[in-house]
Amino acid sequence: MAVKIRLARRGRKGAAQYSIIVADSRSPRDGRFIEKLGTYNPNTQPSTINLDSDRALHWVMVGAQPTDTARTLLSKEGVMLRKHLQVGVNKGAITQEVADAKFEEWKTAKGGDNSVESIATAKKEAREAAIKAEQEGRIQAKKDAEEAAKKAAEEAAAKAAEEAKAAEEAAKAEEAPAEEEATTEEASSEESND
């Protein structure tokens, strides 16, 4: 009899939940099983896995073959690593204490609290940081716009002053020849009077 560790679907349409079971490979997906090892709920964020690791390790050690999805779940919970370490202990490559120490080291390294509350808190902090950054960006953009407007106003005022100066010089230049012509005409009329 080929024994598999696999998922059996439970739950309603659109909200599937799964039982992690040990079953004969010939039995139907949701049918007869040997033992229920735990549950898997992919609908929560993050997905929830409740697993009896010791029983899962027992079944893997006696030859039960996990399906791809079940293997992923078992790996996530550390069952496959424990199996690997236990095989090393059985062969005499390492001692049980070393295997336990390595597993504990993996557990602490994996550490990251994946509870729903911690993820919600992390999302909230990220959202607040993004809002703060956006507000700072808006403030900086407003300052940049004000500086650009001030600079444009100064340039326009300088240009207007230059144009006014040029207009005064042009007016003086027009008055100077007119005065010269007037003095020349006065001089010529005085000469003609003489």
Alpha carbon separation from 80 to 70, 113, 127, 147 (Å, rounded): 11, 20, 36, 62
Please give the residue range of the domain that contains residue 106: 78-111
**SS3 of 101, please?**
helix
Q: Give yes or no: residues 119 and 105 share one domain.
A: no
Q: How many CB atoms lie within 10 A of CB 23?
A: 21
Q: For position 18, what pLDDT does the model report?
A: 92
Name the domain count of the chain.
3
How high is the mean pLDDT of the chain?
A: 82
Percent of the chain exceeding pLDDT 70 equals 86
Q: For position 68, what pLDDT does the model report?
A: 92
* DSSP assigned state of 67: P
Q: For position 22, what pLDDT does the model report?
A: 92
In a domain, 191, yes or no: no
Q: Give yes or no: residues 148 and 131 share one domain.
A: yes
29/39 Cα distance (integer angstroms): 15
Between 67 and 183, the more confident residue is 67
Q: For position 33, what pLDDT does the model report?
A: 85
List, for residues 99-148, the tens digit of each pLDDT value.
Answer: 888 888 888 888 755 556 666 788 888 888 888 888 888 888 888 888 88
In a domain, 194, yes or no: no
On whether the CB atoms of residues 159 and 151 are closer than 8 A, the answer is no
**Left (φ > 0), alpha (ψ -120 to 50) or beta: where does 2 sit?**
beta
